[in-house]
Structure 1
Amino acid sequence: MELRQLHYFLTVAEELHFGRAAKRLQMTQPPLSQQIQQLENELGVLLFKRTKRHVELTKAGTTFLEGVTRTLEQLNQTIDSSQRAQRGEIGKLEVGFVGSATYDILPPLIREYQNQYPNVELKLQELSTPNQINELDHQKLDIGFVRPPIQGDAITSEIIHETPCILALPKHHPLTKEKEIQVSMLQNQPFIVVSRNIWPELYDDIVALCRNEGFSLQIKQEATEYQTVIGLIAAGIGIAIVPASMKNYSVKDVVYREIANANLTAKMAIAYQKDRLTSEAGNFIKLIRKLK
């Protein structure tokens, strides 16, 4: 039994006329009649009662029609699902992110992706950059939102977002009286920083900024994410240079000031294994590039 024979049978059953059915199928009547007869012989049942003027389904034909209709509907659904899976419209996407990504680029991106691909199961994991690279290496993540630079021979990365850095201070710190902070004013101030192994590029940039002004950065406390940094600032532990997007992280007793001529920026990158990029991940990356 061949799939085309089922389509032939269904068309004849709908038309109850071999001539009209043959026309719909864009074939001549004799080959169609032969195919139906061959199907009947294979099944061992008579599907149609035929006269010179009339064609009707037999009882066996009616039963077979019900089954064929269900089968073809299921097959069409399966084909459609397979095609959608290949296009990345259904499936699963594992995304890692650093916590600070939730204050700028990530929320609108996730909303838009879910609007466009509602049948993709999206799983999000908050992880540090090193942990995301490890998960990507072990194929446990499809895409990571990370802080560059990225190490790893199999990992591809690209900068997708860049934001200026500002100074975050406790509410009652003397420097809050200044409208704009000069770098020289940061000398001897207790700093809270995100650890170098978590975000080496920005850490080194901050150290270099102070060194270029002739003093060393006084590190009072290190943290793994900027949410923690902001919390420690609110507690009066010290001050910090943070991405401007952290102003969206509303915390009482923390104020922000511009730093004159600092030219510090915080970069966000996406990282992925190019050689194992799924359709779902490919669609996600296209959307990132469109929205950035």
Structure 2
Amino acid sequence: MSFNLRQLECFFTVAETLHYGRAAERLFIAQSSVSAHVTQLEVELGERLFARTSRRVSLTTFGAEFLHELKPQYDALVVGYSKFQKVASGVRSLKLAHTPELGHWLFPNLLDLIDQLAVERRPAWRPRLMHTHDQIEGIVNGAVDLGLCWEASVPNGVENLVIARSPFVAVLRQDDPLAQKARLRLSDLRERHLLVSPRPNNSFLDAKLQKAMVQAGLTSSALEEVAGYDEIGIHVRTSRAVGVHPAPVASISRTPGVCFRLLAEDDLWVNVCVISAPRDNDEQRAEMIELLRVAAEAATEQNRLSLSETLS
């Protein structure tokens, strides 16, 4: 089971209060539920987050590092979500589903673009955090209007518009010998343990990576899944493993002591897409898709600069 936002919410609240009972009161849930959510998160991470005795609760070293890395990103997601919950009078809000990573990557630029518009032209929309397969289902059944995701196979009647194209990068410790190279190939990683984000979340993306690995002489046995894209840097920092992930991770990761190197494989890249289906709000959808396309262009350039900076 991958971690969820409720587990993170419980962890952050316990980390702030250092008391399971007070955390439960603040969250309006049972203390046993708080404890269960934190324990599940620890199982997923494979490390203890808190040291607990009968008298006190304290963060472990790993727990403190995890808090430092994840809390700013969690807070930004909450603030961004609240800001996007605007409903224009008399206009139905456009429901935009997004994966965690692509929302984190594109939304800052999207916010800037929307703020530059005249008030009467600003779109009424609401974001929904959803993995790719859930987005496709939501598009089909009308629960969402647009989906922002990595390229995926979609059923008939669902449109798949490419707004950006991303290469893959290797995520390395800064003291890794491979970090001395400006670019790498998958074949450079043959003797290394590789980390990837959850593969079932997008079978299309996984198939593309698997094909490139086979061509480079790597096997799937070298892969280990971590709970999410935002944990790859943490696992790389605490081991000698190498992360493999689409390039946006280079501009949104805040893990100290890691760097990113472009994987120069001709066939190893993935599209960022907006998925949709014909609705009665085609004009609204078209305006939002254009904003997303421009935001993706800006984010792609920022990503290029982030990769360049890691070499300086």
Structure 2: stretches of 5+ with no match in the other structure: 1-88, 298-312
2:239 equivalent in structure 1: 236
Kindly indicate whether residue 267 of structure 2 is the aligned counterpart of residue 268 of structure 1. Answer: no
User: C-alpha separation between the residues in 1 aligned to 2:92 and 2:292?
Assistant: 19
User: C-alpha separation between the residues in 2 aligned to 1:262 and 1:220?
Assistant: 21
CA change 1:289–1:245 in 2 (3 A) is: closer
CA change 1:168–1:92 in 2 (3 A) is: same
1:51 equivalent in structure 2: none
Structure 1: stretches of 5+ with no match in the other structure: 1-83
CA contact (8 A) 2:212 2:267 kept: no
User: TM-score, structure 2 length as denominator?
Assistant: 0.57
CA change 1:136–1:225 in 2 (3 A) is: farther
2:215 equivalent in structure 1: 212
Amino acid at match of 2:263: I
CA contact (8 A) 1:194 1:229 kept: yes
User: C-alpha separation between the residues in 1 aligned to 2:124 and 2:172?
Assistant: 40
Deviation track 1:26-63 (CA, whole Å, cap 9, x = no partner) reads xxxxxxxxxxxxxxxxxxxxxxxxxxxxxxxxxxxxxx
Three-state SS of the structure 2 residue aligned to 1:94 is strand
Deviation track 1:169-204 (CA, whole Å, cap 9, x = no partner) reads 133434224343233221131111233332233322
CA change 1:225–1:144 in 2 (3 A) is: farther
2:262 equivalent in structure 1: 258
Question: Among 189, 196, 200, which residue is 1:186 paired with?
Answer: 189
Deviation at 1:141, TM superposition (A): 1.2
Deviation track 1:135-179 (CA, whole Å, cap 9, x = no partner) reads 222322111101112322332111111122211113343422434
Deviation at 1:220, TM superposition (A): 4.2
Kindly indicate whether residue 176 of structure 2 is the aligned counterpart of residue 176 of structure 1. Answer: no
Three-state SS of the structure 1 residue aligned to 2:210 is helix
1:226 equivalent in structure 2: 229
Kindly indicate whether residue 186 of structure 2 is the aligned counterpart of residue 196 of structure 1. Answer: no
User: How much identity, in percent, do the aligned residues show?
Assistant: 15
1:108 equivalent in structure 2: 109
1:99 equivalent in structure 2: 100
Three-state SS of the structure 1 residue aligned to 2:114 is helix
Amino acid at match of 2:166: T
Deviation at 1:233, TM superposition (A): 2.3
User: TM-score, structure 1 length as denominator?
Assistant: 0.60
In the TM superposition, 1:62-141 aligns within 5 A as 90-102=91-103, 104-116=105-117, 118=119, 120-141=123-144
User: C-alpha separation between the residues in 1 aligned to 2:262 and 2:234?
Assistant: 20
Kindly indicate whether residue 158 of structure 2 is the aligned counterpart of residue 149 of structure 1. Answer: no
Amino acid at match of 1:144: G
Three-state SS of the structure 2 residue aligned to 1:256 is strand
CA contact (8 A) 2:196 2:225 kept: yes
Kindly indicate whether residue 180 of structure 2 is the aligned counterpart of residue 159 of structure 1. Answer: no
User: C-alpha separation between the residues in 1 aligned to 2:264 and 2:196?
Assistant: 20
Three-state SS of the structure 2 residue aligned to 1:124 is strand
1:49 equivalent in structure 2: none
CA contact (8 A) 1:128 1:224 kept: no
Deviation track 1:87-120 (CA, whole Å, cap 9, x = no partner) reads xxx4412111112214544432343235436464
User: C-alpha separation between the residues in 2 aligned to 1:229 and 1:166?
Assistant: 12
Q: Which has the larger radius of gyration?
A: 1
User: C-alpha separation between the residues in 2 aligned to 1:136 and 1:254?
Assistant: 37
Q: Which runs of 4+ in 1 moved over 6 A?
A: none
Three-state SS of the structure 1 residue aligned to 2:255 is coil
User: C-alpha separation between the residues in 2 aligned to 1:257 and 1:290?
Assistant: 25
RMSD of aligned Cα (Å): 2.7
Deviation at 1:276, TM superposition (A): 4.3
User: C-alpha separation between the residues in 2 aligned to 1:93 and 1:173?
Assistant: 45
User: C-alpha separation between the residues in 2 aligned to 1:105 and 1:192?
Assistant: 24
